[in-house]
Amino acid sequence: MRSIKKLVIIFAALGVFFAQQPSYAAFNFKFPKFFKSKKEKKIEQTNSENSQTQENEAYEEEIVPQEQNSTDTPAVDVQAKSTEGSVDAVYISQVEIFGNNIIETSFIKDQLSSKEGYIYDRKNISADLNKLYKTGYFTQNIRAVPLRADDGGIRLRIIVEENPPIKGFTVEGNNVVATKDIMNILSQYEGQPQNILNINSAIEQIQEMYSIKGYILARVVSVQDDPDGVVNILVDEGVINDVIVEGNYKTRDFIVKRNILLQPGTVYNENIMRDDILRLMGTQAFKDVKRDIEMDPTTGRYDVTISLDEQRTGKISLGVGVDSTSGFFGSVGFSENNFRGLGQKLSINFMAGTGILMNDSSIINRPNLQAELGFIEPHFKSENQSLGFRAFVRNFGSYQVPLAIEKRYGADITLTRKFKAFKNLSGSISFGGESVDLEEGDEWKARGVFASKGIDYSQRAQQLDGGIYAKITPALVYDTRDTVVNTRRGLLARISLEESIGFGADSFGKLYGMLKKFVPVGKKSTFVLAARAGGKIHGDMPEFAAYALGGPYTIRGFNISEVGTGNGFMMGTAEFRTPIPFMDRLTTNTFLNNVRLAAFMDAGTIFGDSLTNKLYDRPGYAITAGVGLRVFIPGLGPINLDYAIPFTNTGGKDRSNGFFTFGMGEMY
């Protein structure tokens, strides 16, 4: 009994002691029970689990994305205090990503600046969440939950919610661009979460694809997504409402509009419009052509206005010049490039020359007289078809038949058509008639030449064969040149068949082909490779129709026909052209900037040795090299002055000092 009283007193004293100590009151100390009921055990277990859970919960509330300009400050910063009261940084021990199904975890982590081992910073994490949202793959329900890690650091849990995935695309409104071409751009995003950034990028690519093809008005006007995950794309390609022509006072409206391939109801194409403008300028009826585009608010389509600045198209020309085949010449002519306001071209030209310059003893010195009437209907029955008529009279010292006078007169009609299916290909067929008369120019000199070679003069009649011929000449031309003035790139090819049906003379046929390639070198220079060949395909071809090599339009460094004449030939040329160095820096004069320096090499051979070659010891083949000057004259084309030195046998003539040739027009 006495011992029991002592225990009660001891426990009472302890109770009073603990009640007076506030630091221990937090423990809510209770007398232990030696036995617990099942209910008490369950409650204790639950409390223990809750205590453990609370220990691993976030230090603070969840972090969610903030507006870029938000001035909100974090509610609590997780920091640890040292024993001295200073603040120590807390580090991120682990980064966990939850909620992503399609987007790779590695991609999400790459967007975060808060990485394992970095200091935990609430502002940085909020900025990371904003960055994740701006990738476009996620909804606004992005949050970060900081959890206690076992090592005392932070286990950062990033919880995302992906946008619904794209199940497919539909495209409407496209006619000039195939759906499959558009789908090639869109299909890469199929199966991914909807992303406005990717959709905008795809829209830009679609519009760029249209623009490259010339459809500069095309726009994606609507993007809508269905509940089933399909994204619907609507395209407005830019349909023309009307084509308006203004500024033409002489030229009739239908003449202008037939040169414009863009029509109401079609999709506007800048490339076609550019070709239309070039075609209108090519009529030489206008000084300037401009276009303006404006949307019609009532229809949503576009009005295209063509503004024209007409010029005087009737011209009287007087000129003098020099040419290897005509010598010094004078010319007078009249041309009308917009005849009757119908875009037709009419020309009449007369020329009188002194005769072939730089000729040898085989060509008689006689004035060259020519007259020609020409007419062109540029749109004959169709916008891509033209009809031309030509009548001519010529009287000159023949450079095909030695010491003969050649007189020709005739006419022809040529129908030319561009093939729509092949942009750069055109075909033509010419029907005509020609009378060729050759007469003796210097009989005594001719007899002396025949006698010196031991050839009977009776064969002279064979050289002077002429006659009346009906001609049919079909041809094909393939042209991809960027411009006809100082061409820098492209290809020009031509093949033609000339069938001559003789009346009182032998019929014959010839085949001719030409190929010319322009390759740009540097910013302004050009390398030109050219080849051409021709030959008789049937009949007896008279000498006036023979192929000839030598002179400004074939192998330079020789006189006209001096390399030889025959039933066939082939030759090639390599030429480098460049502007005069620094000329564009010294002056802006167009004429001077169109001048080109050239270095070249020519080589060719004649097939089928002719009587003329035997009489004048013509070599029949040649290789030459030289330098030249190209001067472009508006309305006339290039004037070529070349100096070349032959590398081969020249038929007994001394050409060691080289030889000048000059001519007008593009060689070949």
What average pLDDT does the structure give for the chain?
82
pLDDT value at 253 more than 70: yes
Which amino acid, one-letter code, is at 85? G
Class of domain 240-310: alpha beta
Q: What is the dihedral of CA 47, 53, 56, 59, to 10 degrees?
A: -80
Residues 6+ apart with CB under 8 A from 404: 364, 397, 398, 438, 439, 440, 441, 463, 464
Per-residue confidence (pLDDT) for residue 654, from 0 to 100? 65
- Pick the most confident of 97-111, 479-493, 579-593: 479-493
Secondary structure element (H or E) that encloses residue 413, with its range: strand 404-418
168-236 and 240-310 share one fold: yes
Query: Could you tell me which CATH number the domain at 314-664 has?
Result: 2.40.160.50
Euclidean distance between CA atoms 565 and 257, whole angstroms: 49
User: What is the percent of the chain where pLDDT is above 90?
Assistant: 39
Say how far residue 135 (Cα) sits from the centre of its chain. Answer: 35
Q: How many CB atoms are located within 10 Å of the residue 275 CB?
A: 17
Average pLDDT on 502-531 reads 94
Say how far residue 234 (Cα) sits from the centre of its chain. Answer: 28
Euclidean distance between CA atoms 216 and 262, whole angstroms: 14
41's tokens = 């055990």
Of 85-99, 106-120, 245-259, 385-399, least confident by mean pLDDT is 85-99
Euclidean distance between CA atoms 117 and 551, whole angstroms: 86
pLDDT band of 661, cuts 50, 70, 90: confident
pLDDT value at 614 more than 70: yes
pLDDT value at 45 more than 90: no
Cα separations in angstroms, 151 against 81, 230, 417: 16, 48, 87
The residue among 226 and 41 whose pLDDT is bigger is 226
pLDDT band of 25, cuts 50, 70, 90: very low
Residue whose token pair is 């310059």: 357
Per residue in 215-235, pLDDT (tens digit) is 999 999 988 888 888 989 999
Q: Taking a C-beta distance cutoff of 8 angstroms, is the pair 14, 7 a contact? A: no
Strand 240-246 relative to strand 286-295: parallel, antiparallel, unpaired?
Answer: unpaired
Q: How many CB atoms are located within 10 Å of the residue 507 CB?
A: 16
Structural domain boundaries of the chain?
168-236, 240-310, 314-664
Stated pTM of the model: 0.62
Angle, vertex CA 132, rays to CA 131 and CA 137, nearest 5:
130
| Beta strands per DSSP E along 29-122 | 80-81, 87-88, 92-98
Per-residue confidence (pLDDT) for residue 62, from 0 to 100? 62
Euclidean distance between CA atoms 605 and 615, whole angstroms: 18
Q: Taking a C-beta distance cutoff of 8 angstroms, is the pair 383, 366 a contact? A: no
Which amino acid, one-letter code, is at 174? N
Per-residue confidence (pLDDT) for residue 66, from 0 to 100? 53
Query: Could you tell me which CATH number the domain at 168-236 has?
Result: 3.10.20.310
Per-residue confidence (pLDDT) for residue 70, from 0 to 100? 38
Q: What is the 3-state secondary structure (H, E, C) of 380-447?
A: CCCCCEEEEEEEEEEEEECCCCCCEEEEEEEEEEEEEEECCCCCCEEEEEEEEEEEEEEEECCHHHHH
Closest alpha carbon to 224 in 215, 233, 214, 213:
233
